[in-house]
Chains A and B, each alone.
Chain A
């Protein structure tokens, strides 16, 4: 279907690099690895530019590929028995930008300790503001599964926050 949209690769990189990098960073917890994943995603985008039909298509494609490449990277890490997420997070200083409050930064740290599937659902929900239906489409998972992962992930995160974050007072 020809739509007449001519994608400009450099503009797409400028526009979406923050989204792709943040998804990869929150999924892997390693800034270096996240940057490598983001570069790979954009190189793959360059190879597939001709197949993209609209800016929205490019955005959805980038989100899906970023999540998929991040999952691949985590799988490779597990295979190499190097799944030191928290340690790497601490030693490499994968800290949120100063715009995020200290409490927010610690919440993000706790998010990193959730199981991968729950983390993926929560990242897409709260970083990208996606509905469960959209998350299901990005992760290529059944809607019921995504809803369950969101609920369980949020519940687990709340429990961890109440245990670990003294500053966090429910409902404050």
Chain B
């Protein structure tokens, strides 16, 4: 059995029976369709990753903006408090001055 030639009628009949059969037309259609779907799925996966990346960037930007706004409000609050204390100190100083002048005038009278 070292060659591929049939040795008798039985092998010849067998070889004839075993000719390749034509593939159904749906085979190639199916292959191309499944390839298209695979490419489509891969494209959708890329799109999803892009969406996720964009969402992460957007969430970071919004979070950063909120944190900045909070810090800014706190800074402005501190500034306002400092200005109120300064005004109170000036008022207190002026009142002490007036009080001292009134006390001096009373002593002279």
- Which of B3, B20, B23, B35 is close to A43, meaning CB atoms less than 8 Å apart? B35
Contact status B23-A100, CB under 8 Å: no
Bound state CA distance, A126 and B28, in angstroms?
25
Bound state CA distance, A20 and B20, in angstroms?
9
Query: Interface size for chain B: under 10, 10 to 19, 20 to 34, or 35 or more residues?
Result: 20 to 34
Total cross-chain contacts (CB, 8 A) = 102
A118 smallest CB distance to B (angstroms): 13
Within 8 A of A (CB), among B9-58: 9-11, 13-24, 26-28, 30-32, 34-35, 38
> Which of chain B's residues have a CB closer than 8 A to the CB of A43?
31, 34-35, 38
Decide if B103 is an interface residue (CB 8 Å cutoff): no
Chain A interfacial residues counted at CB < 8 A:
49
Given contacts A131-B2, A131-B3, contact A126 B15 (CB under 8 A): yes
Identity of the chain B residue whose Cβ is nearest the Cβ of A108 in the assembled complex = B17
Given contacts A43-B34, A46-B35, contact A13 B18 (CB under 8 A): no
Bound state CA distance, A123 and B14, in angstroms?
10
A171 smallest CB distance to B (angstroms): 6
Bound state CA distance, A165 and B46, in angstroms?
60
Contact status A35-B27, CB under 8 Å: yes
Identity of the chain A residue whose Cβ is nearest the Cβ of B14 in the assembled complex = A126
- Which of A10, A39, A130, A170 is close to B10, meaning CB atoms less than 8 Å apart? A170
B61 smallest CB distance to A (angstroms): 39
Stretch at the interface among A21-29, A52-60, A68-76, A78-86: A21-29
> Which of chain A's residues have a CB closer than 8 A to the CB of B13?
101, 103-104, 107, 168
> Which of chain A's residues have a CB closer than 8 A to the CB of B21?
18, 21-22, 25, 96-97
> Which of chain A's residues have a CB closer than 8 A to the CB of B16?
100-101, 104
> Which of chain B's residues have a CB closer than 8 A to the CB of A10?
32
Decide if A129 is an interface residue (CB 8 Å cutoff): yes
Bound state CA distance, A14 and B3, in angstroms?
29
- Which of B11, B15, B19, B30 is close to A39, meaning CB atoms less than 8 Å apart? B30
Q: Can you add 20 more A-B contacts, CB < 8 Å, to A39-B27, A104-B17, A131-B2?
A: A19-B20, A22-B20, A22-B21, A22-B23, A31-B24, A38-B31, A39-B31, A39-B34, A97-B21, A99-B19, A100-B17, A101-B13, A101-B17, A107-B13, A129-B4, A132-B1, A150-B1, A151-B1, A158-B10, A168-B13
Residues of A within 8 A of B (CB): 10, 13-14, 17-22, 25-26, 31, 35, 38-39, 42-43, 46, 96-97, 99-101, 103-105, 107-108, 111, 122-123, 125-127, 129-132, 147, 150-151, 154, 157-158, 161, 168, 170-172
